[in-house]
Amino acid sequence: MNRIGFIGLGTMGMPMAGNLLKAGYDVTVYNRTREKSAQLAEQGAQVAETPAEAVRNSDVVWTMLTADAAVHEVIFGDNGVATAARRGLIVIDSSTVSPTTSKDLAERLEELGVDFLDAPVAGSKPQATAGVLTFMVGGPKATFDACQPLFSVMGKNAYYMGENGAGSYTKLANNTMGAINLLAMTESLMMAVKSGIDPELFLQVVAGGGARSGMAENRGPKVLRRDFQANFASRLMLKDLGLAQRLAADLNMPVPVLSVVKEMLQTTVSQGYGDEDACAVVKCYEGWLKVTAQGHSQT
């Protein structure tokens, strides 16, 4: 299982594929924007012209794409993965998609003799670059076990969550919590700033108590540096929250907090910050309050 096809070289896919190359795997990459493939070609990757071509010399095909439609197109579209799939191939999708999509892909690929794992990740660009992502995986347990060496190259943990779809269910619940924590951090930080409290000291206080969170630790300093380069773009977080909201509807589950948080991300995107990091939601509060959250070095 040394030959890997990797499809989707965006914010996450690029460093993930790069880590496979660094570990000595034979990697063939495909991306709609060829310039991104060229960057990995300089590191030793083979470049495919179509998803099907990425499959032909691969034991495992990994996809990391932006939405359900893109995953369907890459796998079952013209010159897609399925057109070149052979029995025994493994397809692993780390995109954030609907669990229904994951289960549908698994069923259709099984008919071709192909195993499928839905394996979305916790973490963003820094964790992908460092190879310390956390994978949450659904699919056949034997396939998960066989792919452990690949997960260990790109991540620090890989958890087997259950049958196909379980990884995607876990991911949507995880991203719901992350988004809620982001808004909690943002609103509280702006309350402190508007009150005249030093925001850097405020984050230090938060880090020492029960309100601490990964969002406060990672996104708080990013806000104070005025660094809105996307580790996780606002528009993608909004997309994920839409998936989570639809899942909640399927479960007949009220989600009042998720609904409010989704509206705040919609406001962020509507104000033109969709391609900036999700922490750009702070700019909405700054506009309302007429103050800016920034650290001493930025003043």
**Residue 58 shares a structural domain with residue 137:** yes
Output the 3-class SS for the chain. CCEEEEECCCCCHHHHHHHHHHCCCEEEEECCCHHHHHHHHCCCCEECCCHHHHHHCCCEEEECCCCHHHHHHHHHCCCCHHHHCCCCCEEEECCCCCHHHHHHHHHHHHCCCCEEEECCEECCHHHHHHCCEEEEEECCHHHHHHCHHHHHHHEEEEEEEECCCHHHHHHHHHHHHHHHHHHHHHHHHHHHHHCCCCHHHHHHHHHCCCCCCHHHHHHHHHHHCCCCCCCCEHHHHHHHHHHHHHHHHHCCCCCHHHHHHHHHHHHHHHHHHCCCEHHHHHHHHHHHHCCCCCCHHHC
Give the per-residue pLDDT at 257: 98
At position 175, the amino acid (one-letter code) is N
Q: What is the mean pLDDT of residues 203-211?
A: 96
**Residue 57 shares a structural domain with residue 199:** no
Q: Which CATH number characterizes residue 81's domain?
A: 3.40.50.720
**Residue 88 shares a structural domain with residue 141:** yes
At position 45, the amino acid (one-letter code) is A
**Residue 176 shares a structural domain with residue 157:** no
**Residue 159 shares a structural domain with residue 174:** no
Beta bridge partners of 138: 118, 162
Catalytic residue set: 171
Q: What percent of the chain has pLDDT over 70?
A: 99
Give the per-residue pLDDT at 298: 62
The model's pLDDT over 124-144, given as tens digits with 9 standing for 90+, comes to: 999 999 999 999 999 999 999
The model's pLDDT over 43-77, given as tens digits with 9 standing for 90+, comes to: 999 999 999 999 998 999 999 999 999 999 999 99
Q: How far apart are CA 186 and CA 202, in angstroms?
A: 12
Give the per-residue pLDDT at 297: 66
Supply 213's token pair.
């969170």
Find all residues with CB under 8 Å of 8, minimum gap 6, and list them. 31, 63, 64, 65, 66, 70, 74, 95
Report whether pLDDT(231) > 90: yes
The model's pLDDT over 101-117, given as tens digits with 9 standing for 90+, comes to: 999 999 999 999 999 99
Give the per-residue pLDDT at 299: 53
Q: How far apart are CA 245 and CA 20, in angstroms?
A: 34
Q: Which CATH number characterizes residue 203's domain?
A: 1.10.1040.10
Rg (CA), the chain: 20
Q: How far apart are CA 175 and CA 187, in angstroms?
A: 18
**Residue 199 shares a structural domain with residue 154:** no
The model's pLDDT over 150-189, given as tens digits with 9 standing for 90+, comes to: 999 999 999 999 999 999 999 999 999 999 999 999 999 9
Rounded to the nearest integer, the mean pLDDT of the chain is: 96
- Segments forming the whole domain that contains residue 124: 3-163
**Residue 129 shares a structural domain with residue 233:** no
> What's the predicted TM-score (pTM) here?
0.94
Domain count, the chain: 2
Give the per-residue pLDDT at 295: 84
Confidence of residue 1 (pLDDT cuts 50, 70, 90): confident
